[in-house]
């Protein structure tokens, strides 16, 4: 009997590497960043999709913050390219209009060494000038932004400090003229509602890249409810109030760094994404060919570690698995059952369980090119923390 453990990574608000303990006697085989994309165009996993790139497998998000894989969020506008690159740079033809006031500066810089496909590569670098009251930023007009909308961001406020008048601002106005105004400063995010700034979420530590997904729900009575998702987890409180109107043009996204109180403010932004919801898409995770299989086995088994964040896992229905021994052909579905009790507390939400599922199947053809895949569907949020495959 032989086994292979393939682990991936997923969103975390602080991108702090925090691996789960492995079961006794098991050591992981780590695969390099980018292994997902090398075989996906030909993997024949239903349903077929082109939603991948060299750093992302089919329908899931890979990051370097945690030891799990989970479904990507639904979205309408993806405003960055491969590895966080801004489409076409900044300026004419790129879709982004540069905003410079006084001696403010906006440029693209190349970040490297983070080991994360979302951070490595070009980032928007906004630096204000050496005197106060300078502004640096970009803006872009989108297609129709619906009444209820969301935006996701990955940024690093480097030299903002504690004064709100030096904040990094991300504003987004929908098609009826209501503006979601957020400001990032002092390790926190504020949102402007009912005529005043209100605290939405705080974070720690200083000078860390971190993600936030802000959801703005139109309540139909002139008010909006604002929710913050750190990674995949809703972070209280939710705020309800009236958003201002007429701040910028309809359907415009504005990102600015200002220095009203202090000179030389500085922030870097690698990702901005705009969409209707934070809910996950379906997910298909396919392994690489497993190494060191000397002879063709007849049976294969999986043990999968999944965090039950949405608490709606239905085994063999919205969570399914399959194996094959001939590269990407002759897939055999396996019936999963639960190993109890749960393995431990979740990493994304430590109030939820990491559950262990197992199943065994007979290979449909003889071969030594073993792969496995795991699918989720129906909006289930079940991050995958690890898969062990063993065979006889």
Q: What residue ranges define each of the domains in the chain, with the CATH number in brackets?
A: 2-71+280-391 (2.60.120), 77-275 (2.60.120.200)
Q: What whole-number percentage of the chain has pLDDT above 70?
A: 69
**What is the mean predicted confidence (pLDDT) over 196-205?**
82
User: What pLDDT does residue 76 have?
Assistant: 55
User: What pLDDT does residue 247 have?
Assistant: 93
Distance CA 257, CA 156 (A): 12
Q: What is the DSSP letter of 251?
A: T
pLDDT of 77 over the 90 cut: no
User: What pLDDT does residue 366 have?
Assistant: 96
R_g (Cα) of the chain, nearest Å: 23
pLDDT of 256 over the 80 cut: yes
Q: Which structure tokens are listed for 109?
A: 């810089």
pLDDT of 245 over the 70 cut: yes
Q: Which structure tokens are listed for 135?
A: 């502004």
Strand partners, 126: 106, 267
Distances (CA, A) of 10 to 14, 154, 269: 11, 14, 19
Residue 307 near residue 351, CB atoms below 8 Å = no
> Which is higher by pLDDT, 371 or 77?
371
User: What pLDDT does residue 51 have?
Assistant: 32
307: CB partners within 8 A, 6+ apart = 68, 346, 347, 348, 349, 352, 353, 354, 355, 382, 383, 385
**What is the mean predicted confidence (pLDDT) over 147-157?**
85
Q: Which structure tokens are listed for 204?
A: 């720690």
User: What pLDDT does residue 240 have?
Assistant: 98
Distance CA 280, CA 259 (A): 37
| 26-40 pLDDT, tens digit each | 333 333 333 333 333
Q: Report the SS3 class of residue 38.
A: helix
Distance CA 67, CA 17 (A): 8
**What is the mean predicted confidence (pLDDT) over 111-139?**
79
User: What pLDDT does residue 52 have?
Assistant: 32
How many CB atoms within 10 Å of residue 66? 26
**What is the mean predicted confidence (pLDDT) over 94-113?**
81
User: What pLDDT does residue 113 have?
Assistant: 66
**What is the mean predicted confidence (pLDDT) over 264-273?**
85
Distance CA 125, CA 131 (A): 18
User: Is the pTM for the entire model greater than 0.75?
Assistant: no
| 351-379 pLDDT, tens digit each | 788 899 999 999 999 999 888 888 888 87
């Amino acid at each position: 009997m032989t086994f292979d453990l393939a682990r991936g990574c997923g969103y975390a608000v602080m991108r702090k590497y925090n691996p789960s303990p492995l079961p006794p006697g098991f050591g992981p085989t780590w695969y390099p960043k980018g292994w997902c994309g090398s075989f996906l165009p030909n993997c024949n996993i239903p349903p077929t999709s082109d939603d991948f790139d060299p750093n992302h497998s089919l329908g899931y998000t890979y990051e370097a913050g945690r030891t799990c894989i989970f479904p990507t969020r639904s979205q309408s506008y993806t405003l960055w390219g491969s590895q966080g690159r801004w489409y076409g740079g900044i300026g004419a033809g790129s879709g982004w209009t540069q905003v410079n006031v006084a001696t403010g500066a906006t440029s693209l810089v190349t970040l490297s060494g983070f080991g994360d496909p979302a951070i490595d590569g070009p980032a928007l670098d906004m630096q204000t000038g050496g005197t106060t009251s300078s502004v640096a930023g970009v803006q872009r007009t989108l297609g129709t932004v619906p009444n209820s909308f969301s935006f996701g961001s990955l940024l690093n406020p480097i030299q903002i400090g504690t004064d709100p008048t030096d904040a990094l601002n991300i504003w987004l106005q929908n098609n009826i003229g209501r503006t979601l105004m957020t400001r990032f400063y002092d390790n926190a995010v504020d949102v402007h509602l009912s005529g005043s700034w209100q605290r939405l979420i705080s974070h720690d530590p200083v000078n860390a890249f971190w993600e936030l997904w802000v959801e703005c729900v139109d309540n139909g009575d002139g008010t909006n409810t604002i929710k913050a998702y750190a990674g995949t987890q809703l972070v209280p409180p939710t705020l309800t109030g009236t958003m201002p109107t007429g701040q910028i043009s309809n359907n415009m996204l504005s990102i600015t760094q200002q220095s009203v109180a202090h000179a030389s403010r500085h922030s870097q932004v690698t990702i901005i994404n705009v969409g209707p919801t934070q809910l996950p898409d379906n997910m298909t995770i396919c392994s690489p060919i497993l190494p060191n299989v000397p002879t063709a086995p007849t049976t294969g088994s999986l043990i999968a570690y999944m965090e039950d964040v949405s608490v709606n896992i239905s085994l063999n229905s919205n969570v399914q698995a399959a194996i094959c021994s001939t590269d990407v052909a002759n897939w055999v579905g396996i019936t999963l059952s639960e190993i109890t009790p749960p393995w431990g507390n979740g990493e994304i939400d430590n109030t939820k369980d990491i559950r262990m599922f197992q199943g065994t199947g007979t290979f449909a053809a003889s071969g030594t090119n073993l792969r496995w895949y795991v699918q989720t569907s129906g909006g289930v949020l079940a991050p995958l923390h690890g898969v062990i495959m063993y065979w006889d």
